[in-house]
Structure 1
């Protein structure tokens, strides 16, 4: 059954969309710091955010990205952690629609459609994160790309797969260099596995990709 993404339903909600406050952040802006209280749930409407933590050696490590139509930090909030466990940073100029956490919780409690839509969103994001983790079991860039694409194909019925907002973000998710990923994508496209377009990537040979694994 086709259903609008949770982010769209939330922004169009008859009773609760009025509680959304839109804010735009410059590149590298720290929106929330480690330990800040979670008082609102956000929807990324444009741009990309990243969750950063510091290693024991003082180096910054990105643990997650939040792209357009992603929700945050609902995992922390509903698991009982009411403060940020990372620094939330704008990876580029980004706009976020914020709803008070109490109103967000009230909305999904009252509206079963919203609860169901949020469950779908959380399930899909969890699957995507699991795919990225499992990608690391493969040694070559081609295998990592193939595994990710085959897994993503199950989420999109028409074979049109939306890609991360930039190749740098995709490379970071796959734990490879941007230049290496770019070279491999060109080779795989030339071999007919997929075709890249303005909407992302059109999968052409899912069976062939599966054969690489």
Structure 2
């Protein structure tokens, strides 16, 4: 009996140690899908500031961020550029259903992307239909992140927006800790992302420092000296709104008990028709207008 071992394909090596396998669409790949993805895709690395795809040009490929940060930029008719979103490891670049790029994408840091031609991408999903749901889920999460960034901007001053962005860089931090943050985005990109000028961003950083929440160690490096104060400056408690918006409405349950009680509940529901439902935004925040 032969004991010949299968040859390990070289194209598997680029995926084995890739951090993108832990998040985003790649985390949904089984072994067969991973090998097929590695075989069909190719990698490109971009220096910080390099253009990856131009707005209005043909969208002929789909990518997954393997490392680094990518900024999505929209160019207005007046020639102004606005950073809409920062894509991270595991995020998708490009829309398989669009033939023209709706936005520009640029490397916010040194970035590596795994690419597939558009038709190859469609073939990959057809070969692995179990991945299609994960693909839709990944696209939906990215779109929700963009939506939530708009929600978080509303009703916040420049200081509050910057403070909230800093808080969001420390998802695992606890009260009493003194974590440090290294800002890898340029001042210009961060200011554009938070919808302010570079000068306003600098003033906001110093105002947060003067209020005792952070200490600036370098232009791109700071220490959080009072996380609780930083959260209060960010109106972080108002993120209950974001949590409520992100959660789908619970489906109605009609158990045997519920069916038997429907007659009595109907009158109560009619009498309370003008009241905000429990758990809704209006109930949690009575002053909130629709």
Normalised by the size of structure 1, how large is the TM-score? 0.67
CA deviations on 1:97-129 (whole Å, 9 max, x unpaired) are 101222222333343432222233222222211
Q: Which residue of 1 aligns with 2:261?
A: none
Does the 8 Å CA contact 1:42/1:71 hold for their aligned counterparts? yes
Paired position in structure 2 for 1:179: 202
Q: Residue in 2 aligned with 1:101?
A: 118
Distance 1:127 1:18, change over 3 A: same
Q: Compared with structure 1, are the counterparts of its residues 59 and 4 closer, same or farther at alpha carbon in structure 2 (3 Å cutoff)? A: closer
What is the CA distance between 1:11 and its match in structure 2? 10
Contact 1:193 1:209 in 2 (8 A): no
**1 or 2 for the larger relative contact order (CA 8 Å, sep ≥6)?**
1
Instruction: Give 1 or 2 for the bigger CA radius of gyration.
Output: 2
Structure 1 segments unaligned to the other structure (5+ residues) = 153-158, 196-202
Deviation of 1:43 after TM superposition, in Å, equals 1.1
Q: Which residue of 2 aligns with 1:127?
A: 144
Moved over 6 A (4+): 146-150
Higher mean alpha-carbon deviation, 6-15 vs 33-42, is at 6-15
Compute the RMSD of aligned alpha carbons: 3.9
Match of 1:32 among 45, 50, 53: 53
**2:96 is aligned with 1:84:** no
Matched, 1:18 2:39: yes
Deviation string, structure 1 residues 154-176 (Cα, Å, up to 9, x no partner): xxxxx538x98537455433224
Q: Structure 2, unaligned stretches of length 5 or more?
A: 1-21, 174-181, 215-223, 242-290
- How many angstroms does 1:47 deviate by? 2.2
Check 1:109–1:145 CA distance in 2 against 1; reply closer, same or farther (3 A cut). farther
In the other structure, the counterpart of 1:57 is 78
Any idea what SS the aligned residue of 1:114 has? helix
1:193 equivalent in structure 2: 228
Residues 51 and 209 of structure 1: CA distance in aligned 2, closer, same or farther (over 3 Å): closer
C-alpha distance in structure 1 between counterparts of 2:107 and 2:30, whole Å? 21
